Copies of this chain bind each other. A is one copy, B any other.
Amino acid sequence: MTRVNEMIELTFEGVEPAGSHVAVNVKAVFTKGDFSKEVLGFYAGNGTYKVRFLAEEAGRYTYQVSGLVSGQGTIDVEEADEKHHGIVRPDGTKLRHADGTYITTFGTTVYALAHQTDELTEETFKSLECGAFNKIRICLFPKHYAYNKNDHRYFPFYYDENGQNIEFTDNLGEKRSVKPIDTNHPCFEFWDEFEGKLNRLFDMGIQVDLILFHPYDRWGHSYMSQEANLTYLDFAIRRLAAFPNIWWSMANEYDLFFNWKIEQWHEVDEFIGKNDPYGHMLSNHNCFPLYDFERDAITHVSIQNRAMNRVKELQAKYNKPVCYDECAYEGNLKETWGSISAKEMVNRFWKVTVTGGFCTHGEVLLDDDIETSEQQDNAVLWWAKGGKLKGQSPERIKFLREVVESLPGPIEGDVVGLGRMLAMSDQEREMSLKYTPESMRGFIETIGRMDASEILYHIIPSFEYAGHCGENVFIFYLGTDCCARYMPQLPQGKTFTIEVVDAWNMTRSQTATGVKMGDEIRLPGHEYIAVIATAEN
């Protein structure tokens, strides 16, 4: 039985293409009443061609396949089951599945998942059953970096053994000379195996933020010609676009491709935007300067940053969902990106989530008995290879996820407290001065005398994290503040029931009822406390 939001695959026998195994002339049109969608098929090896299609509505579809192979027929697509809500797309600054269900993502990172042994991969999938995560960031190409230099039995594409060698210095400073990668000749074994993983993740309800390029490379995948890059993308889209759980992440740390011009990235986002028939999520992740998220094809903001107060700022700038896809990792490494505590990882998730953004986890806990740098490369760190989750943050992220999923809708971040005055534009300040009681005017004016840098020096460390769901639920997350008393900023004219949530100890309990604007409530007086205020009647 075929259902809405599950991939449909049609298989046709043909002859092996003479030239490119990617740019094959196989086209399919799916129609149902007024609906019509054209998709490209792909060569799958062994004289087999495939066409994949994702029906987003129930009904009888007619298809017409033409080109190197041809065929036609009808498919009856039943209503979706309760589990599969369909492709995630932006709705303003929120994320919604095709069926309208909102999703708050809780990401994790296993960059080189695709390039590990079967045994380790099984362990990784077992770990992912913990329920903390509904999104994972993984790379398609293999990864060369400290703590992971794994080759795999398959590469996504073959080398062009007749090509001229490419010379480059890899990301770890070593000189390399390799044949050019021939993206017209995919290694079908790799793709089949890789898709097996995508399917398992799909079954587990996990979105895949698929990193298409990354600079941690000794093999030459980051030194391909732009033509080869686009051929690769053509193949990836033909094969993968009908997976409902795919997101396209153009790069990890796009700005560390020192050999790429920014125009190449623009061409990549335009190519995906134009060729992906489903409009999957598409973004580009930075190390330092942010990508230009205003670009048409870009669906959301995907950033690496450790200042956790930027959700509202970036939403306001781009009117797109904001994903903190890297905020450092729970770990004990010497590197600053890999040595935050579990508490701090959980703290960062709460800050991003209660302000209406989406956060991503990673874990790099190195065992004490590891001595040499070779042993370090062979160590199994979740963030690169997967394996067992050893950290203390995943179960707290799961708890946060449960809290969020218990709310009546998606969270809209609020800028409260001083942050409100600090974040005003000159124009807002001028407007605001007209309507502000005299007692507050002085504050607005003195803040207005600060330059942009001084404002950031205040906002970043003092930001107050808050949000609301609709008009009746308000959340305040106090981070490392140890307030024993608190005056939640509530709207006038309603009374509220107060729940106190301990983000670290994973408790949630009702502590007060009938609380009004201006009332002071009691809190435990230690770190990692959130307050949920729900309007009564």
Contacts and interface: CB of A to CB of B under 8 A. Distances in A.
A334 B290 CA distance: 35
A417 to B, nearest CB: 7
A439 interface: yes
A397 B460 CA distance: 25
A485 B305 contact: no
Contacts of A256: 442-443, 446
Nearest to A438: B169
Interface in A278-310: 287-290, 305-308, 310
A462 interface: yes
A331 interface: yes
A403 interface: no
A481 B333 CA distance: 9
Interface string A464-504: 10000000000000101111111100000000000000000
Contact of A306 (B368, B447, B462): B462
Interface string A434-462: 00001101110111011011101110111
A456 B458 CA distance: 11
A199 interface: no
Given A452-B453, A457-B305, A462 B255 contact: no
Task: Name the prevailing secondary structure of the A interface residues.
Answer: loop
A478 to B, nearest CB: 8
A485 B332 contact: yes
B454 A288 contact: yes
Contact of A461 (B287, B333, B460): B460
Interface string A330-359: 011110100111001000000000000000
B340 A288 contact: no
B336 A464 contact: yes
23 contacts: A169-B438, A255-B446, A255-B449, A256-B443, A258-B445, A288-B450, A289-B449, A305-B457, A307-B458, A307-B461, A308-B461, A310-B457, A331-B482, A332-B482, A332-B484, A333-B484, A336-B417, A339-B483, A340-B480, A341-B526, A368-B484, A456-B456, A456-B457
Given A305-B458, A341-B480, A341-B526, 19 more contacts: A256-B443, A258-B441, A288-B447, A289-B449, A306-B458, A307-B457, A307-B460, A332-B482, A332-B483, A332-B485, A332-B525, A333-B483, A334-B485, A334-B487, A334-B520, A340-B480, A341-B527, A366-B484, A456-B460
